[in-house]
């Protein structure tokens, strides 16, 4: 299960951004050609055949837990911006097609539960 993702550095030789992805099951360096920790995370979970949606929801919760009880719109706006950006710059991940709607639905459900 996802714990954290940390930006480490930019490699000028390979022109890649390097992140440290920490999970219950593994810890690794993930790289992307663009500055997107989300893109690095999706690619790594796909490669390992691990549940992408569940771990993305955990990422968004860690980033926006302060908003969840009251305001859903800032989270939705961020998720939508990430989708547009990833679909444009990393079409091979198929984020919008495979994961976006599931992640959004899970965040909305959690918001509803927190409001109870």
The model scores a pTM over 0.85:
no
**pLDDT tens digit string along 5-34?**
888 999 999 888 888 999 998 899 888 776
- Asked if residue 80 lies in contact with residue 103, where contact means CB atoms within 8 angstroms, the answer is no
**pLDDT tens digit string along 30-57?**
887 765 778 888 888 999 999 999 998 8
| Contacts of residue 61, Cβ cutoff 8 Å, sequence gap at least 6 | 68, 107, 110
The domain segmentation of the chain, as residue ranges, is: 2-115
């Amino acid at each position: 299960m996802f714990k954290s993702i940390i930006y480490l550095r930019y490699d000028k030789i390979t022109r890649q951004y390097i992140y440290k992805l920490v999970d219950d099951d593994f810890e690794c360096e993930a790289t992307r050609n663009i500055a997107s920790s989300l893109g690095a995370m999706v690619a790594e979970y796909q490669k390992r055949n691990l549940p992408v949606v569940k771990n993305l929801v955990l990422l968004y919760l860690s980033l926006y837990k302060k908003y969840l009880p009251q305001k859903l719109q800032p989270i939705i706006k961020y998720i939508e911006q990430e989708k547009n950006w990833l679909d444009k710059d990393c079409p091979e991940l198929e984020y919008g097609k495979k994961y976006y709607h599931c992640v959004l639905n899970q965040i909305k459900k959690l918001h509803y539960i927190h409001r109870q």
